[in-house]
Amino acid sequence: MTLKIGVPSKGRLMEKTFEWFGARGVEMRRDGAEREYSATVDGADGVQVVLLSAGEIPQELSAGRIHLGVTGSDLVREKLADWEEQVADLAPLGFGFADLIIAVPAFWVDVDTLDDLDAAATAFRAAHGHRLRIATKYHRLVREFLREQGVADYQLVDSQGATEGTVKNLTAEAIADITSSGETLRANHLKILSDGLIHRSEATLFAARAADWTGTAAATLSALAARLDIVLPEALERLPRATDAA
């Protein structure tokens, strides 16, 4: 059985993923034109690259349609509720860094922490008759984080476009979004709460627990892990081999 690896289909994530594998002797290259979603692998027998959007890879891992996948740790945690039961974290790849943070208008001089935000949210509801709105694409991660921190008097609103612009456009009072340098936040007159880091994301290689590991797939994973210098989690080391399925 061919071992399938989901790789981001375009941009810097695809390029850096190809570089990471290439530096370890597994050469990946895209076939044909940019719109053709196929790639070739040299240096690893029995391995097939499947080009997908980074946002699709968590669902494909969860469904077991791919064995391995490279995507942001933020996307796996957001899209898979019980992610540790569905995928195994094999290796951080050292690129694709970004922080999921909570930011508020810079002119909120008395709001610098989550406790301040909680107080501001209570006051906002009393003054306006509805809850303070936080715009985000990361509903699960933000809700879990704010619940753990004791912030309750708010509502999450979905951001379909540029999240940083929602405060200026008066569709939200605060935001929770990914940032790398913070420049876009500053350009939109927003500031990050001092304790408002929700998750520090990084491109990561994940393995799907629900994939079909019978046949030769598990043996291929062991050989690939040795080539990449990855120590497999104990649960994956016990995957069935071809002799087990016979």
Query: In the 8-state DSSP scheme, what is residue 63?
Result: H
Q: In CATH, what number is assigned to the domain containing residue 163? A: 3.40.190.10
- What pLDDT was estimated at residue 237? 62
Asked if residue 104 and residue 182 are part of one domain, the reply reads yes
Mean pLDDT over residues 8-36, rounded?
88
Mean pLDDT over residues 76-100, rounded?
95
pLDDT tens readout for residues 224-244: 999 999 988 876 766 655 444
Mean pLDDT over residues 135-163, rounded?
95
Mean pLDDT over residues 13-29, rounded?
96
Asked if residue 196 and residue 118 are part of one domain, the reply reads yes
Asked if residue 113 and residue 161 are part of one domain, the reply reads yes
Average pLDDT score over the chain: 92
Asked if residue 173 and residue 104 are part of one domain, the reply reads yes
The answer, yes or no, to whether residue 245 has pLDDT greater than 50, is no
The answer, yes or no, to whether residue 36 has pLDDT greater than 70, is no
Residue 31 one-letter amino acid? D
- Residue 164 banded pLDDT, cuts 50, 70, 90: very high
Asked if residue 35 and residue 71 are part of one domain, the reply reads yes
Asked if residue 92 and residue 121 are part of one domain, the reply reads no
Asked if residue 88 and residue 56 are part of one domain, the reply reads yes
Residue 244 one-letter amino acid? D
Asked if residue 207 and residue 189 are part of one domain, the reply reads no
Asked if residue 81 and residue 112 are part of one domain, the reply reads no
The answer, yes or no, to whether residue 170 has pLDDT greater than 80, is yes
Domain total for the chain? 2
- Residue 246 banded pLDDT, cuts 50, 70, 90: very low
Give the residue numbers spanning the domain of 144: 98-201
Asked if residue 114 and residue 161 are part of one domain, the reply reads yes
Q: How far apart are CA 202 and CA 132, in angstroms?
A: 30
Which residues, at least 6 apart from 221, have a Cβ–Cβ distance to it below 8 Å?
A: 3, 67, 68, 207, 213, 232, 236, 239
pLDDT tens readout for residues 174-192: 999 999 988 999 999 999 9
CA 78 vs. chain centroid, Å, equals 7
Decide if 203 contacts 16 (C-beta within 8 A).
yes
- Residue 1 banded pLDDT, cuts 50, 70, 90: confident
Q: How far apart are CA 234 and CA 232, in angstroms?
A: 6
Asked if residue 143 and residue 65 are part of one domain, the reply reads no
Asked if residue 209 and residue 182 are part of one domain, the reply reads no
